[in-house]
Amino acid sequence: MKIAVVGATGLVGGVMLQVLAERGFANEEIIVAASAKSVGKKIAFAERELVVVSVETAINSNCDYAIFSAGGSTSKQYAPLFAEKGTIVIDNSSAWRMNDDVPLVVPEINFSAIKPENRIIANPNCSTIQMVLALSNLHKAYGIKRIVVSTYQSVTGTGVKAVRQLECEQQGLDCDKAYPHKIHENILPHGGDFLENGYTTEEQKLVDETRKIFDNQNIQISATVARVPVKGGHSESVNVEFEKQFELSDVYKLLQSTSGVCVLDKPLENVYPMPFISHGKDEVFVGRVRRDTSCINGLNLWIVADNLRKGAATNAIQILEHLVREKKKEM
C-alpha cells in the first residue's frame, strides 16, 4: 500500500505521520510531500527517514491514498489531480467539506456516507469533530433541537506561527504574530475571519458541518469561538436542547457507550476534562454533565479533545483504516 501525506512538515502533518506509525501503517510505503521550500528535507517516520518530495512527484507516484493537511488552496489545486490518478484523498482542510458531492466523515458516526465513487473525503473541523462525537448517541436517542456552543481553542489549531507567538510572549520576546493581539495572558473572541453576519468562519463551520454530519438542516446552532493561551487541546461548553425528555442516568449510559468518548465526571473529586489531560490521546473527554434547569429538555456538557489528534490526524487515519478494511472485504 502506498500512502502520501501532503503537508507533512506542518503541525498536523507531523502528527499524521506519528498516528500512521502507531496504528499499523509503519511498514507501508509512505510518501511525504510539501511545498518546494521543504523538498529534500528528511523526516523521521517509525524507524526510518523519509525524504520530502514535491506534491507533483507524489501525484505521479500512483498512491492508493493521499492524506492532506496543507491548507484549503493546496487541497483545491491538488486533490482533484490525485483523484484523477485513482488515489483516494482524505482532506483535512475546509476546502471540500461543504461540497455536496464530498462526504464529511467522523467514522464512528457516518462512515456509511462514503460511496464507492467518492475519490475525495473531507475531514471535519477539529471543534466540530469532538462536539458531534460526544453528542452522536444523544442525538439518536432524543433528537437535537438546538445547540449553543462556546469553544476555547488552543493555539496549535492556528499552527506553528501561533505556537511561536505564545512562546515568545511568555519569554518577553518579539516575534512575528499570528494573531492581531497578544495571546499570552489573553483570550481572543476571534477564530478565523469575520463574516458579514458578525460570526466568524470558525463559528460558521460548527453550524454547517454539524448539520451535514447529522444530516439534519433543522438543528438550530449558535457558536462562539475563543482562542486561549493553551498549547494543545480544545475545550467546549455545550448547551443542548433535545426534542424528547431524558433521564441523566440514561445520558451517562449513552455517553459511556459512545465509541471514542471517555466520561470524566466526578466534580466533587475535582475530576473533569481539561486540555492537558487530552494531550496525545485519541479520545473525546466529556464531563460537567448536568441538566439545564432554565429550559425543558436542556443539557450542559464540557467537551475536551486533542485538536491535533482526534480533531485532525486521528480522525483522518481512522477514515483510512475503515477504507482499507472495506477494500479487504471486497477482495
Q: What is the DSSP letter of 40?
A: T
Query: Average pLDDT for residues 186-215, to the nearest whole number?
Result: 97
Based on the domain organization, do 215 and 291 belong to the same domain? Answer: yes
Query: Average pLDDT for residues 197-219, to the nearest whole number?
Result: 98
Query: Average pLDDT for residues 183-207, to the nearest whole number?
Result: 97
What's the CATH number where 57 sits? Answer: 3.40.50.720
How many domains, the chain? 2
Based on the domain organization, do 214 and 293 belong to the same domain? Answer: yes
How does residue 328 score in pLDDT terms, banded at 50, 70 and 90? confident
- List CB contacts of 168: < 8 A, sequence separation 6 or more: 174, 175
Average pLDDT, the chain: 97
Task: Decide if pLDDT at 111 tops 80.
Answer: yes
Query: Average pLDDT for residues 283-305, to the nearest whole number?
Result: 98
Query: Average pLDDT for residues 300-318, to the nearest whole number?
Result: 98
The pTM assigned to this predicted structure is 0.97
CB 127 within 8 A of CB 225: yes
What's the CATH number where 142 sits? Answer: 3.30.360.10
Based on the domain organization, do 44 and 162 belong to the same domain? Answer: no
Amino acid at 282: D
d(C-alpha 98, C-alpha 126), whole Å? 15
Annotate 142-207 with DSSP letters as a single string: H-EEEEEEEEEE-GGGT-HHHHHHHHHHHTT-----SSSS--TT--BS--S-B-TTS-BHHHHHHH
Based on the domain organization, do 202 and 320 belong to the same domain? Answer: no
Which residue has cell 475503515? 322
Q: What percent of the chain has pLDDT over 70?
A: 100
CB 124 within 8 A of CB 132: yes
Based on the domain organization, do 43 and 8 belong to the same domain? Answer: yes
Based on the domain organization, do 278 and 230 belong to the same domain? Answer: yes
Q: Quick one: pLDDT at residue 330?
A: 80
Based on the domain organization, do 167 and 244 belong to the same domain? Answer: yes
CB 147 within 8 A of CB 134: no
In the set 63, 126, 139, 262, the catalytic residue is: 126
Q: Quick one: pLDDT at residue 169?
A: 98
E strand or H helix at 226, and its extent? strand 220-227
- List CB contacts of 110: < 8 A, sequence separation 6 or more: 103, 104, 213, 215
Task: Decide if pLDDT at 331 tops 90.
Answer: no
E strand or H helix at 21, and its extent? helix 11-22
Query: Average pLDDT for residues 108-134, to the nearest whole number?
Result: 97
Active site residue 126: yes
Based on the domain organization, do 282 and 134 belong to the same domain? Answer: yes
Based on the domain organization, do 148 and 287 belong to the same domain? Answer: yes
Based on the domain organization, do 153 and 260 belong to the same domain? Answer: yes
Based on the domain organization, do 62 and 205 belong to the same domain? Answer: no
**C-alpha cell, 326:** 472495506
Based on the domain organization, do 261 and 214 belong to the same domain? Answer: yes
Query: Average pLDDT for residues 70-76, to the nearest whole number?
Result: 95
For the stretch 163-182, pLDDT in tens is 999 999 999 999 999 999 99
In the set 63, 168, 190, 234, the catalytic residue is: 234
Range of the domain at 254: 127-307
Task: Decide if pLDDT at 31 tops 80.
Answer: yes
